[in-house]
Amino acid sequence: MNPIKSNKRMSGRVIRLALFYSLILSLTHSFIASAHVGSSGVIVQKQVGNYQLLISVKPPDVVPGTAIVTVFVEQGRVSSIGARPIYFRSGDKGAPTHDILTPVEANRYEGDLWLMDSGSSSIELSIDGPDGKQQVIVPVVAMATALREMPQGTGLALAAMGLLLVVMLITIIGASNSDGVLLPGQKAPATLGRRRLVGMGVGLAVIVLILTGWRSWWTSTAEDYRNEQLYQPTRIATSARVTNAQRQLTIQFDTTGFGSGRRSRRLFSFMLPDHGKLMHAFLVRTPGLDAFAHLHPERRDTLNYESTLPLLPGGKYLLYADVVYRSGFAETLTDTVEVPSLKITAETAANAKPTDVDDSWLVTEPMGVKANAVNVPHLDNDMVVCGKPGASVKLSDGSTMIWMDKPSQILEAGKLYLLKFAVADAQGKAAALEPYLGMGGHAVILRSDGTVYIHLHPVGTYSMAAEGSLVNRIADTARTFHYPNAARFRDSIDTYVTKLKTLPEVEKNKLLTTSMPGMSHAMKTNNMVEFPYAFPRDGHYRIWVQVKRNGQVLTGVFDTQVNDALLN
């Protein structure tokens, strides 16, 4: 089958996706985010029973607040969908009842859910209909990431109204203190005016005390929100040094300031492996984004992770390291690191071994090259696939990766896209893909200035480890969760990760696939991989797509322009 000639008609699923476009709001522009950078919310595409669902959860950036839940039923007959938040700390027993989502035209359901507390949580969807009952768990990190400032005009209006109410209340107190002592027809005594003034003075003093106490409470609450609840990303110290003719990357958790508030506390002994790795570290050279590495540093101790750097050119690199904690809290750690240049012989280069067999890297052209250049990533005008703009790039094994079904040369911010990529061999025939870390593929999307980063999977924007942790917690009947012994837990995880490294590739992928059934996302054709995503803001983006073929990790890189929807 030739992937360029295939897919001549748009599938019904993609047609239905068009109806979902208007539902995806523009995402936050903040650099601070917990599970990724600059892309708030969760997008999930799942097959459960006879239902295929496309789910969007946009959590609030101020907690307590409401999360916007949207479910599009791509396949299956649904009568109703209920949703409720479940927190890791309280579990199923401490969760509220389901709120019924409102059906909105073509198989679309919407609703708002209150998230009352910060931390690791999930949205449980209960689907009911002629095709059976099913439940879906969507991991959500509910964290306060913003402060709301009152508009100046509103503040002045409220201040004026408050002052008027205070004046009226003092006047009423003074009048009641004086007029209340007179009988009908009785002449007012000479001390009446003084009594009125005394009453007004006492009333004013009481009101001042009340307002002072209220102000103190308000300031304390605001400080608690800012210092205790407002999300603060974990700080790390990253360095690259030359040791024995090899460069070593060290990532150390910075515990400075621990104890100042729960926002900065992390249980580093309780890390969970995601796709069999405790950490997924992505290095991208700036400013051209022309060198890329997907590494899996080893844990040396609770706070230190190390990895041998591959044959990357020297320079300044952006670092994004994804980790997941026992509570299901997923976090992206960010830093910059200066990688020293290293001149080595061809023999030394050939004998160099990565820290992890699944490490991969690519050096390519920088962003900004002309669109009609040959074998470079910015190829929006490179080809037409079934009447649509397409892009292709040569892979390291001689095969070609093709960006299928690209709606237009310039994409729109806030719209949900199904990013679909196919691989063809040198003869243009479909090239079968193998699982990579238990999945059909991985993708990394980065804005040119580094302020938007996301690690994508075929099922969406969330972590397998987070889903597994929350699913197991919901199955636990205990109202509260008690952490096990930290040392034993850490050792058991290290043993599991080490065992995975010794397994043959087939057995390793089988074990990983079994451990994350919720992330199964089989493609109809075995040479394709797809990722649902909504670009959160306009700008230039680079996309790295990673697949595996004949035991080799292959990385395709594509550039695209994203404009504000109002400008298109």
Angle at Cα 478 formed by Cα 477 and Cα 481, nearest 5°? 130
Q: What is the pLDDT of residue 26?
A: 32
Query: Does the pLDDT of residue 338 top 60, yes or no?
Result: yes
* Banded model confidence at residue 522, pLDDT cuts 50, 70, 90: low
- Please give the average per-residue pLDDT across 538-562, as a whole number: 92
Confidence of residue 5 (pLDDT cuts 50, 70, 90): very low
Average pLDDT, the chain: 81
If one compares 525 and 556, the residue with the highest pLDDT of the two is: 556
Once rounded to an integer, what is the mean pLDDT over residues 417-429?
89
Q: Percent of the chain having pLDDT more than 90?
A: 35
Interatomic CA distance for residues 441 and 457, integer angstroms: 7
Alpha carbon 535 to chain centroid, angstroms: 12
Q: Which of 297, 179, 153 has the alpha carbon at shortest distance from 239?
A: 297
Q: Identify which has the larger pLDDT, 161 or 346.
A: 161
Distance (Å, whole) CA 262 – CA 119: 10
How far apart (Å, rounded) are the C-alpha atoms in residues 53 and 563? 28
165 CB-contact burial (10 Å; exposed 0-12 / middle 13-18 / buried 19+): exposed
Task: Return all residues near 165 (Cβ < 8 A) that are at least 6 apart.
Answer: none
The residue extents of the domains of the chain are: 41-142, 152-177+192-229
- The pLDDT score that the predictor gives to residue 27 is 33
- DSSP lists the bridge partners of residue 410 as 561
User: Cβ neighbours of residue 538 under 8 Å, at least 6 residues apart?
Assistant: 413, 562, 563, 564, 567
Q: What are phi and psi of 399, to 5 degrees?
A: -80, 175
Task: Please write the tens of the pLDDT for every residue from 442-501.
Answer: 999 999 999 999 999 888 888 888 888 888 888 888 888 888 999 999 999 999 999 998
On the question of pLDDT at 365 being above 50, the answer is yes
User: Spelled out in words, what is the top-level CATH class assigned to the domain 41-142?
Assistant: mainly beta
Listed residue (236, 278, 241) closest to 255, CA to CA: 236
pLDDT, tens digit (0-9, with 9 covering 90-100), for 45-65: 888 889 989 998 988 888 888
Taking only the tens place, the pLDDT of each residue in 79-123 is: 999 999 998 888 888 888 999 999 998 789 999 999 888 778 889
Judged by DSSP in three states, 218 sits in helix
Backbone φ, ψ for residue 456 (5° rounding):
-100, 150
- pLDDT-based confidence at residue 227 (cuts at 50, 70, 90): confident
Question: How would residue 433 be classed by pLDDT, with cut points 50, 70 and 90?
Answer: very high
